[in-house]
A and B are shown apart, each in its own frame.
Chain A
Amino acid sequence: MEIEDPRPVPEPVHLQMPPPESGLRPASFVKPDLPLTDPAVLTSPTMVQVERLNLFYGQKQALFDVDLKVARNSVMSFIGPSGCGKSTLLRCLNRMNDLIDDVRVEGRILLGDTDLYAPGTDVIALRKRAGMVFQKSNPFPKSIFENVAYGLRIQGESDRNVLAASVERSLKSAGLWEEVKDRLKDSAQGLSGGQQQRLCIARALAVRPEVILMDEPCSALDPIATARVEELILELKREFTIVIVTHNMQQAARVSDHTAFFWMGKLIETGLTEKMFTNPGHRMTEDYITGRFG
Chain B
Amino acid sequence: MSRLTERFRQGGVFVWFSGTLLAFCLAMILSLVGYIVAKGMGYFWPSPLVQVQTTEGPVLGEITGHEPARREETEKIQFRVGNRDIYGQDFRWIPTAELGQPQYPKDALLIERLEYGPFIGRIASLSREGQQFATGPAALAEALQRLPEANRQRHHIQSIEKGEVGDLNRRIEKLRLSRRKVEASGDAAAQQALEAQVAALQTTYDQLQTSLETARAEAKAWTLNLQTADGKVKEWPLGSVVRVIPANDLTGLGKLGIYLSRLWEFVADDPRESNTEGGIFPAIFGTVMMVLVMSILVVPLGVITALYLREYAKQGWLVRAVRVAVNNLAGVPSIVFGVFGLGFFVYGLGGSIDKLFFAESLPTPTYGTGGILWASLTLALLTVPVVVVATEEALGAVARSQREASLAMGATKWQTLWNVVLPSATPGILTGLILAIARGAGEVAPLMLTGVVKLAPSMPLDGTFPFFHLDRKFMHLGFHIYDVGFQSPNSEAAKPMVFMAALLLLLVVVLLNLFALNLRRKLRERLGGSTF
Contacts and interface: CB of A to CB of B under 8 A. Distances in A.
Interface of A: 1, 3-4, 6, 94, 96, 99, 124-128, 131-132, 134, 136, 138-142, 150-151, 153-155, 187, 189-190, 200, 203-204, 207
Contact of B396 (A4, A128, A142, A200): A4
A48 B529 CA distance: 39
Contact of A204 (B393, B409, B419): B409
A294 to B, nearest CB: 26
B397 A154 contact: no
A150 B420 CA distance: 10
Contacts of B203: none
Interface stretch (B253-261, B372-380, B410-418): B410-418
B404 A134 contact: yes
B360 to A, nearest CB: 47
A124 B527 contact: no
A153 B424 CA distance: 18
Given A96-B404, A141-B423, A189-B528, A1 B409 contact: no
Given A96-B408, A207-B409, A141 B528 contact: yes
B190 interface: no
Given A134-B401, A138-B401, A141-B528, A96 B419 contact: no
Interface residues of B, number: 26
B407 A138 contact: no
Contact of A203 (B400, B401, B409, B424): B409
B526 interface: yes
8 contacts: A6-B400, A99-B404, A99-B407, A127-B407, A131-B409, A138-B399, A154-B406, A154-B409
Contact of A155 (B399, B410, B527): B410
Contacts of B408: 94, 96, 127, 131-132, 134, 204
A28 to B, nearest CB: 35
A134 B402 CA distance: 10
A278 B501 CA distance: 85
A151 B410 contact: yes
Interface of B (DSSP majority class): helix
A141 B526 CA distance: 8
Contacts, number: 79
Interface centre among A141, A155, A203 (most CB of B within 10 A): A141
A190 B405 contact: no
Interface of B: 393, 396-397, 399-402, 404-412, 415, 419-420, 423-424, 526-530
Contacts of A153: 419
A150 B405 CA distance: 10
Contacts of B529: 189
A190 B528 contact: yes
Contacts of B424: 141
A20 B401 CA distance: 40
Given A134-B401, A138-B404, A128 B423 contact: no
Given A138-B401, A140-B420, A187-B528, A151 B409 contact: yes
| 10 residue pairs, one from A and one from B, having the closest CB atoms | A128-B410, A189-B528, A132-B408, A138-B401, A127-B410, A141-B527, A151-B409, A138-B405, A154-B411, A3-B396
Nearest to A155: B410
A126 B402 CA distance: 19
A94 B528 CA distance: 30
Contacts of B400: 4, 6
Nearest to B408: A132
A242 B357 CA distance: 65
